[in-house]
Amino acid sequence: MTSAAPARTLEVRHLQIARAAFAALAAIMVTFSPDHSAPVGMAIFSGYAITTGIVLLIAGRSVYPVGRRWPAVALGVVAVIAGMFGGLPYFRTIPGFFGTVIAWALVSGAIEAIAGWRALRHARHPELLRPREIVPGVFDSRPAAQPGPVSESRDGVVIGVMTLILGVALLCVPAQYALRYTIEDASETFTLTGITIGVGIFGAYTAIVAVYLAIAGLSPRGPTAEPTEVPVSAPADQKDSA
């Protein structure tokens, strides 16, 4: 007999809306900033990463049950560390921007995509949550956290893949690229640089993430039972042989 888990005041939708709000703020700052230099781009990224990381760390305790907390905690730690690096003057350079954002995107994207894929697999195939056999004939008796909703896992996969695409896209941008062009009507000459493209790509990423997570967080959902940590019984053949 298991006791029901206490009701949670915060849900996954609240985490998604908070992440969408910070991503939208970063997208607005990139869009309306006339300066797409490395210091400005790094400052925007640093603020976005730290605030998002703090929200993820809080969610790891307040939103997810034990057994499903590690992705949020891992993403939060990676984001806060990357944001702190972004606040250092040494990293507010062109190589610093590309190196920091690419490393963050590849690591956090891989974590979120893999965690979402595993959760999606377990949600669709609950039978995979069989007790782990420690030694022959002896199974792990620790309770297994029930998988979350399929929509939540799918959203994690989508955001993780988009973050990986951000990292790959920035890898394809030459950091020292510079193209001078002239607009005859304005009689002015401008220079398109690699850092301008990089900051613009990051702004586009945050805009897409903001829209996707806002839709996911605000979409109506049916009532769902709070996941509980229920011990998984040993396989039938193992019990029969006892």
Structure confidence at residue 118 (pLDDT): 84
**Residue 218: per-residue pLDDT:** 87
**Which is more confidently placed, 152 or 170?**
170
Residue 82's pLDDT is 96
Query: Which of 33-42, 53-62, 157-166 has the largest mean confidence?
Result: 157-166
**Residue 185's pLDDT band (cuts 50, 70, 90):** low
Given a cut of 90, is residue 224 above it in pLDDT?
Answer: no
Higher pLDDT, 125 or 170: 170
Rounded Cα–Cα distance for residues 136 and 142 (Å): 17
Query: Is pLDDT at 20 greater than 50 in this prediction?
Result: yes
pLDDT above 90: percentage of residues in the chain: 47
Q: For 50-75, how does the pLDDT look when each residue is reduced to its tens digit (9 = 90+)?
A: 999 999 999 888 888 777 788 899 99
Question: Mean pLDDT, to the nearest integer, of 19-47?
Answer: 94
pLDDT of residue 234: 46
pLDDT in tens, 137-146: 544 444 445 5
| CB count in 10 Å sphere of residue 181 | 9
Between the alpha carbon of residue 96 and those of residues 40, 165, 198, the distances in Å are 12, 19, 12
Q: How confident is the model at residue 99 (pLDDT cuts 50, 70, 90)?
A: very high
Whether the CB-CB separation of 238 and 132 falls below 8 Å is answered with: no
Asked if residues 195 and 158 have their Cβ atoms less than 8 Å apart, the reply is: no
Strand partners, 230: 144
Instruction: Answer whether residue 79 shows pLDDT above 80.
Output: yes
What is the signed CA dihedral for 99, 101, 107, 110, rounded to 10 degrees? -130
Closest CA to 11 of 72, 53, 70: 72
Q: What's the token pair of residue 73?
A: 């905690």
Residue 101 CB: number of other CB atoms within 10 A? 24
